[in-house]
Structure 1
Amino acid sequence: MNNLSNMMKVAVVGGEGIGPEVTAQSQRVLNWFAVKRGVPMTLREAQYGIIPYLATGKVMPPDTVEAMEEADAILWGATGGPETKEVPAAARKAGSLLGLRSKYDLYANLRPIVAHPALSDSAPLKASVLTGVDFVIIRELTSGIYFGEPRGIETLADGQRRGFNTEQYTTDQIRRVVRAAFELARTRRNKVCSVDKANVLETSVVWREEVIALHAAEFSDVELTHMYVDNAAMQIVREPRQFDVMVTGNIFGDILSDCAAMASGSLGMLPSASLGPVDRFGRRKALYEPVHGSAPDIAGRGIANPLGSILSVAMMLRMTMNRPEDADLLEKAVASALSGGARTADIAEAGAKRLSTQEMGDAVLNALDNVAAREKERA
């Protein structure tokens, strides 16, 4: 029997749009690991969005806050959708994902970009460009222009309206996320590319200088390069295999990681992990979510791709639960399902059968059984 003190607590928050649909499949995967692999965990479901708002007046009600507070890991679905009169802007802002990132100081957002060979025919980029693509974008997540002050909208004396935001970074904010990039690179191919716009922005000048200083002081064994953000966007679609670990600020990482989705076949394929600082007990708050948004245009139709959410579970197994073998197993199972022809609409070749969200979950669970059985035979 598992020791209760080692039991990992996972808050499962499906959220809005397609979030609950894809999260239901990743929750099935978590249950598989609990039952078949003995991973010690308890899952607590919690609501977010318009449904709890209509009942409680909050998009993030007290029960959800409690579930996330006590959790070792948060499995998040999606947030957002068409503006509705039922949820005022102030109520949505009070329970926003940006606020959650700030509350838990989830400063490092990791987004793996892997090109699966099985998807070469359906990917928007040429197969020759995608061969060997396997890199990680680390996006600073709690600073930069999304959080900088002052910000607002004002009316000028001549009657024109002006919107303004502030891009800013401090030494500590830069160094802690860049340190995470260097440390990750040491476990991979030992290469870091820092992306900025230092030829135009003072913020980026500071960013680059701090990256160089930290590299010289602590990580001179890691290969470091620098790239302007506009060139980085081009290189991601021109020659993505050149990258190992890419680190950049909040707004640049937001844009570049969506661009990089084309190197993995679809935005629906991308997982992510948002990590907070390590506390004195060696623990850190972590939120795992697919990169795609709420996609309200397809919500409720059962056709969304759950693989981004399922692969986020693999990141959870590796980073929070310290189960790298189980994480590897899940990633192999996803690759096996894809190699076997499992396709949702967003990654389907012309004429290929298109699976529902539920059927893709079935395909991954079947692949987990098969891959686990093969590995057991080899052991």
Structure 2
Amino acid sequence: MKVAILPGDGIGPEVTRQAVRVLEALDLPGLTLFEGDVGGIAYRRHGHPLPAETLAMARAADAVLFGAVGDPSCDALERALRPEQAILGLRAELGLFANLRPAKTFAGLEGMSALRPEIARAIDLLIVRELNGDVYFGEKGTDTLADGRRRGWDMMSYAEDEVRRIAHVAFRAAQGRGKRLCSVDKANVLETSQLWRDVVSEVAGEYAEVTLEHMYVDNAAMQLVRDPGRFDVVVTGNLFGDILSDQASMCVGSIGLLASAATGDRTTAFGTFGLYEPIHGSAPDIAGQSVANPVATILSAAMMLRHSLGRESEAARIEAAVARTLGEGVLARDLGGSATTGEVGDAVIARL
């Protein structure tokens, strides 16, 4: 089992180190970890945020564990050389079109949510976000209008096959959960969303046991704070999924708690190839202070074991150890505690 470790920038190396410590504590036979540069650190060392050697390492692996990218010192670079292009490039080059972002409230942490505890307690959902299309990958540019005004533009588009493949991922996920799928779009004003809705409805015919609901994105954002327990699996496009998944993290209590997986059609000898990362960013304002919460990255490693390496029992052990750690009050600063990044890692390892 070969895993590429790409720590990245800011707090990425700090939180990734704790996830690696947890993996090493499992002492899995045949597990080999390789580390590479990505993001701002890669630009400074190699002249590009996604060096050819890093991409080759990722392609040769069975899974990728990713930290975070983002470095304010690179903000003046041309867009193609900015750290954030590394993750977009990995998704495109590795064919990772489906982002899986589970959100579930941990017992004992209901009070950390901005929602009332009795509402937060009901959160147990999975957001399936399309990763390779939408405005993030569409044509874009800036120009000047005839009257001298500057204009920026981005194209939002989806082809039906792109919608169909992410819909299948979402329906299969719903089959393994509560058999309820909510497709989120803005079909009342966007032609892209109308196509999205039409194709998802067509795919629904292949999954008779799954109940499909369509919802406009503004209503979905409202329902996510009003009644989040109504959602089981949510499928949506790149832009809407980016926003809603971050909103879901704050409904749970902290962005430092949520893991994610990016997968595609490629399989390995053990499962589905994927890139696993916490949903938070590089947080340069707290980098190097040992206060970052590593839980999301540790849980990302658990997802990696389950989906890409075929190690369900070890994944469940990590998740149980994390739940005990949080339930027993070992909390990082984002959750109101005082435990350092390393102390949270120590506590999880002690409870394995």
> Shorter chain as normaliser: what TM range?
over 0.9
Specify the alignment match of 2:198 in structure 1.
Answer: 209
Q: Does residue 1:269 correspond to 2:253, yes or no?
A: no
Structure number with larger C-alpha Rg: 1
Structure 2 residue runs without a partner (length 5+): none
Aligned counterparts, 1:1-379, within 5 A: 8-33=1-26, 35=27, 38-84=28-74, 89-92=79-82, 96-149=86-139, 151-216=140-205, 218-278=206-266, 284-348=272-336, 353-368=337-352
SS in 1 for 2:103: strand
Which secondary structure does the structure 2 equivalent of 1:203 belong to?
helix
Report if aligned partners of 2:183, 2:236 keep a CA contact under 8 Å in 1: yes
Once the two structures are TM-superposed, the CA of residue 281 in structure 1 deviates from its matched residue by: 7.3
| Deviations 1:239-259 (CA, angstroms, capped at 9, x unpaired) | 111111000000000000000
- TM-score norm. by structure 1 comes to 0.89
User: Distance between the aligned counterparts of 1:327 and 1:279, measured in 2?
Assistant: 19
CA distance in 1, matches of 2:311, 2:305: 5
User: C-alpha separation between the residues in 2 aligned to 1:108 and 1:307?
Assistant: 22
CA–CA distance in structure 1, aligned partners of residues 82 and 268 of structure 2: 33
User: AA paired with 2:310?
Assistant: N
Identity across the alignment (%): 47
SS of corresponding position for 2:229: helix
More displaced stretch, 290-299 vs 124-133? 124-133
Deviations 1:257-276 (A, max 9, x none): 00001222100111000001
CA contact (8 A) 1:191 1:223 kept: yes
Query: Structure 1's 197 and 69: CA in aligned 2 closer, same or farther, altered over 3 A?
Result: same
Give the letter for the 2:172 counterpart.
E
Quote the RMSD (CA, aligned, Å). Answer: 1.8
- Contact residue 276 and residue 301 of structure 2 kept, 8 A: yes
CA shift for structure 1 position 280: 9.4
What is the Cα deviation at residue 62 of structure 1? 3.6
Q: Deviations over 1:69-114 (max 9, x none)?
A: 2111010000112143895544337952112111111100000001
Partner SS state of residue 285, structure 1? strand
Contact 1:50 1:87 in 2 (8 A): no
Q: State the AA in 1 paired with 2:148.
A: G
Question: Residues 86 and 146 (structure 1 numbering): CA distance in 2 closer, same or farther, change over 3 Å?
Answer: closer
